[in-house]
Chain A
Amino acid sequence: MRDRAWHPPALTPLYKTSVARSPQRAPLSFATTISEETSPVFGNDVLGPLDNDLIHNFAKDGAGAIGPRIVVYGRVVDEANRPVPNTLIEVWQANAGGRYRHKKEGYLAPLDPNFGGCGRCITDENGWYEFRTVQPGPYPWPNGPNDWRPAHIHFSIFGHAFAQRLISQLYFEGDPMIWQCPIVGTIPTPEAIETLVAKLDMGATIPMDARAYRFDIVLRGKRQTLFENRMEGL
């Protein structure tokens, strides 16, 4: 079961779009079945050589994206702290100036011709993942009259059960905008928010190249084991 007091509730009026997009009736509960305890499989054969390198995967030959170069890495585990190997992670983000490459985005900061903003990777056998990118900039958005998102990277993680499917956002240690943001503020507790803040990790930097941030991800559920001829529930 998900701890719904830990996750943001559906209705969070300070994040205005949630008002008309939140169910009003309680979600119905049932114990998971094989439909929720299975999930699609993605092998390394779906990945191209630059899929986890956002500095170069959209850039022209010999060029690279402009902005502070960083490595983002971490481990995906379940709630019992066991690694989640071979699972797909997709990321997307704005460029160093806070501009997204999307036709519905009208922020006046320019696009970077060498930055697309998407990347993906698959965790290794111990649950580790890594990608390279430029640190995204904050950007203004039409919610309150002067709301700005903190610098953030969107994450999509599959896990090994469809009930583990998760989308969230990474924020950066020390960013004062985190505590101003109505989307961050949908999360009820500061403790839960802190788990979305990637930590600067100088020990993992690549000298004269890129700094590193560590961001660990926890998926719901114990790792499933066979028990009396059926999957154990999540």
Chain B
Amino acid sequence: MIRDVTRLKETPSQTAGPYVHIGCTPNFCDIGGVYPHDLGSKLITGDVTGERITIKGTVFDGTGTPLKDALIEIWQADSAGLYNSVNETRGTADANFTGWGRSPGDMDTGEFTFETVKPGAVPFRDGRMMAPHVTFWIVARGINLGLHTRMYFEDEAEANAADPILSKIEHQNRVPTLMARREEDGVYRFDIHLQGADETIFFDV
């Protein structure tokens, strides 16, 4: 069998730096008139199916100080568990839901907010269902390579217990760092700790 043996090295990562907003959310940092709106500011673009939820949270450094210059992106399935992506082969995702959001956080507090829908379950590689989750990607000044993590829902205890990834984690005492806390109906809080005793689990995927 003939195989293509070309192997290039991935372009190495560099920090997004303190001015990531100029490129990714220019309207947020007062560079108006270039783009009509900031990409990723809305996940819901029309009459969406599913339970509408709000995700709020803050990213903290190792001293407990909130990051006010981070950029947070989320990627998730729609309420039926389908991704709005060219690589989705199982069906067609809700046309009124992009699945992707981007937030620079509040300028004074650093708190990020996403108006979204609760994702449906999606299958693991072997066909078992993963619990509903939202993928997070965090970049900022001081972060050399974007950090991947997942947010699960604490009120999905049964699905979480059967989740193929959560159940495989050796240090089960760290699993709660991936759980969003239900603050009130439809509002979930997911704080991210970059470092220290309550450090969030990050994934090398």
Partner of B125, one of A31, A40, A166, A195: A31
Considering the complex, give the chain A residue whose CB is closest to the CB of B90: A34
Whether the pair B85, A41 counts as a contact (CB closer than 8 A) is yes
Q: How far is the CA of A142 from the CA of B10 in the complex (A)?
A: 30
A138 within 8 A of B: no
Whether the pair A165, B16 counts as a contact (CB closer than 8 A) is no
Q: How far is the CA of A31 from the CA of B140 in the complex (A)?
A: 26
Q: How far is the CA of A231 from the CA of B98 in the complex (A)?
A: 21
B92 within 8 A of A: no
B184 within 8 A of A: no
Report B1-40 residues with CB < 8 Å from chain A CB: 4, 6-24, 26, 29-31, 33-36, 39
Considering the complex, give the chain B residue whose CB is closest to the CB of A39: B85
Q: How far is the CA of A30 from the CA of B144 in the complex (A)?
A: 21
Report B62-112 residues with CB < 8 Å from chain A CB: 62-63, 65, 67, 69, 73, 75, 77, 83-89, 98-100
- Interface SS of chain B: helix, strand, loop or mixed? loop
Considering the complex, give the chain A residue whose CB is closest to the CB of B204: A27
Whether the pair A21, B61 counts as a contact (CB closer than 8 A) is yes
Known: A18-B143, A22-B195, A167-B139. A187 touches B204 (CB 8 A): no
15 contacts between A and B (CB under 8 A): A25-B199, A28-B169, A35-B135, A35-B150, A38-B85, A48-B34, A58-B33, A78-B8, A92-B23, A103-B30, A120-B23, A162-B135, A167-B14, A186-B144, A218-B9
Which residues of A are interface residues toward B (Cβ below 8 A)? Answer: 1-4, 6-10, 12, 15, 17-42, 46, 48, 50-51, 57-58, 77-81, 90-92, 100-105, 116-120, 154, 156, 160-163, 165-169, 183-184, 186-187, 191-193, 195-196, 217-220, 224, 226, 230-231, 233-234
Which residues of B are interface residues toward A (Cβ below 8 A)? Answer: 4, 6-24, 26, 29-31, 33-36, 39, 61-63, 65, 67, 69, 73, 75, 77, 83-89, 98-100, 122-125, 130, 133, 135, 137, 139-148, 150, 165, 168-169, 174, 194-196, 199-205
